[in-house]
Amino acid sequence: MNYLGDFPQDQTVYFYFSTNDVYGGRSDPTTFGTVIVYKDDSTTQTTGGITTEENFDSSDIDNGIHLVKIVTTASFYEPAHDYTVILYGAEIDSQTVNAVLASFSIENRTGSPQAGALEITYTVKADDEDTGDPLEGVDVWISTDVEGTNVIWRGVTDASGILVETAGDSKPWLDAGTYYFWRQKSGYSFSNPDTETFS
């Protein structure tokens, strides 16, 4: 399951998921189904604040990739809880599909970096290169895979274009290895993912 991170109260949550046929190829749903959210281990569910966009980008490469947006200002979404996002009643490749898409928490995580982890300074600039002006307010999420399904950290760039926690000023801490950085800001186009290796 894709854990999206720990968000401050009233933060909007974005993520993407793919639909595939039984062979793993791209497959658009015949019936998209309903995206719902559960809180903790309760059977209480909501569709409040959820919008979806099937095949979110008009370019052919993004067919079979769908956007979910969850606005957490509704009373259902409270601090100190975990949330699980479910796709219910979709029809994909002639099969009825119910699936766990992702999970996230709202102000429900504490802790320190793991021993051996590296503090990462990652800067986003307006021209998507190493030159140009730093870009503030870019949503950035980090995955361990090039498909972007296993997201391990999410934050936003500050006034200096440096990636920090959405709810604070801490930079990401990562073990040595290769990671994929995904960037999003209205009015800007990025070449995603940006592959970075740390040692």
pLDDT tens digits for range 182-196: 999 988 888 899 999
Q: What are 56-81's pLDDT values in tens digits?
A: 776 655 578 889 999 999 999 998 89
CATH code of the domain made up of 2-106: 2.60.40
Strands 2-7 and 95-106: parallel
pLDDT recorded at residue 94: 84
Alpha helices in 28-172 (DSSP H): none
Query: What average pLDDT does the chain have?
Result: 87
Instruction: Name the DSSP letter for residue 118.
Output: E
Domain ranges of the chain: 2-106, 118-198
Residue appearing with tokens 């040692």: 199
Give the pLDDT band (50/70/90) at residue 55: confident
Q: Please tell me the distance from the alpha carbon of residue 17 to that of residue 1, in angstroms, as a whole number.
A: 11
| pLDDT value of residue 92 | 86
- 62: three-class secondary structure by DSSP: helix
Q: Residue 26: its pLDDT value, please?
A: 77
For the 118-198 domain, the top CATH level (class) is mainly beta
H/E stretch holding 69 reads strand 65-71
Q: What's the predicted TM-score (pTM) here?
A: 0.56
Contact in structure between 27 and 20 (CB atoms under 8 Å)? yes
The pLDDT-based confidence of 138 (bands split at 50, 70, 90) is very high
Strands 151-157 and 163-165: antiparallel
Task: With CA atoms as reference, report the closest residue to 138 among 69, 196, 62, 190.
Answer: 190
pLDDT in tens, 89-124: 999 888 888 999 999 998 887 555 566 788 899 999
Asked if the domains at 2-106 and 118-198 fall in one CATH topology, the answer is yes
Task: Please answer whether residues 185 and 139 qualify as being in contact, where contact means their C-beta atoms are separated by less than 8 angstroms.
Answer: yes
Q: Can you tell me the distance from the alpha carbon of 69 to that of 27, in angstroms, rounded to the nearest whole number? A: 21
